[in-house]
Amino acid sequence: MKKGVIFDLDGVIVSTDGLHYKAWKQMADREGIYFDQVINNRLRGVSRMESLAIILERAEKTYTDEEKLEMASMKNELYRESLSTLTPNDILPGVTPVLEKLRAMGVKLAIGSSSRNTPAILKQIGLGDFFDAVADGNQIQNSKPDPEVFLLAAKLLGLPPEECVVVEDAFAGIDAAKAGGMKALGVGDASRYEKADITAPTLAEIAPEKLIE
């Protein structure tokens, strides 16, 4: 039985995909760069600057590093504004009961997210003080598929990686978990990823006992 569960945030605990999309879309439109939902799917689990680099694959001009920082910061301002609309009602189906049951079973719970907005999002959805450990984009150098954020989460929980299971919706996140020597549950998009050890459409469809088996 595993002793810790590390949850990705965006797309696992709360769906911020649409909000990321809207903010990037506004930025891309302003620059006249083509951007759609399919490209947006590639941004899952990927850091802000790496997301921008993916969007700029469609750009017709090259941008200086300073311009890139400006674009990323414009996107983040728009995104931060939209985060103020999040409430505990935006917690995804099945999440709250799974968290409560795991906690009652004595399992340690952490967040492992590439997002630098993790503390703000957790606060907004009423989970600011819930987790035993939070590892996020503010504390790491390499974002998923690098295992850094999950290894940090395990360390903060005081557990070796092999005692932890990761819950992820991004292919890059499953790759990160595997690279870190952890088992991974793929939900949402990642429920169709063959590298996931187990899959479920949402957390509502998986028994907590099965998750830590």
Residues of this chain that bind Mg ion (CB under 5 A): 8, 10-11, 169-170
Task: Report, in Å, the least distance between residue 22 CB and ligand G6P.
Answer: 12
Pick the closest to residue 135 from 161, 122, 108, 154 (CA basis).
Answer: 154
- Residue 20: contacted member of ligand G6P, Mg ion, none (CB under 5 to 8 Å, by partner type): ligand G6P
Among 116, 119, 145, 201, binds ligand G6P (CB under 6 A): 116
Is 175 an annotated catalytic residue?
no
Task: Report, in Å, the least distance between residue 18 CB and ligand G6P.
Answer: 11
Residues 51-90 that bind ligand G6P (CB under 6 A): 51, 76
Q: Is 20 in the site for ligand G6P (CB under 6 A)?
A: yes
* DSSP states along 155-179: HHHT--GGGEEEEESSHHHHHHHHH
Q: Is 25 in the site for ligand G6P (CB under 6 A)?
A: no
Q: Is 124 in the site for ligand G6P (CB under 6 A)?
A: no
Question: Strand 108-112 and strand 198-199: pairing?
Answer: unpaired
Sole window of 41-49, 101-109, 156-164, 204-212 interacting with ligand G6P (rule: CB under 6 A): 41-49
| Three-class DSSP category at 146 | coil
Tokens matching residue 131: 């987790």
Distance in angstroms (rounded) separating the CA atoms of residues 151 and 167: 14
CB atoms within 10 A of CB 16: 22
Site string for ligand G6P, 193-212 (x = CB under 6 A): --------------------
Distance in angstroms (rounded) separating the CA atoms of residues 211 and 31: 44
Among 95, 115, 178, 182, binds ligand G6P (CB under 6 A): 115
CB 164 within 8 A of CB 4: yes
Residues at the interface with ligand G6P (CB under 6 A): 10, 20, 43-48, 51, 76, 113-117, 137
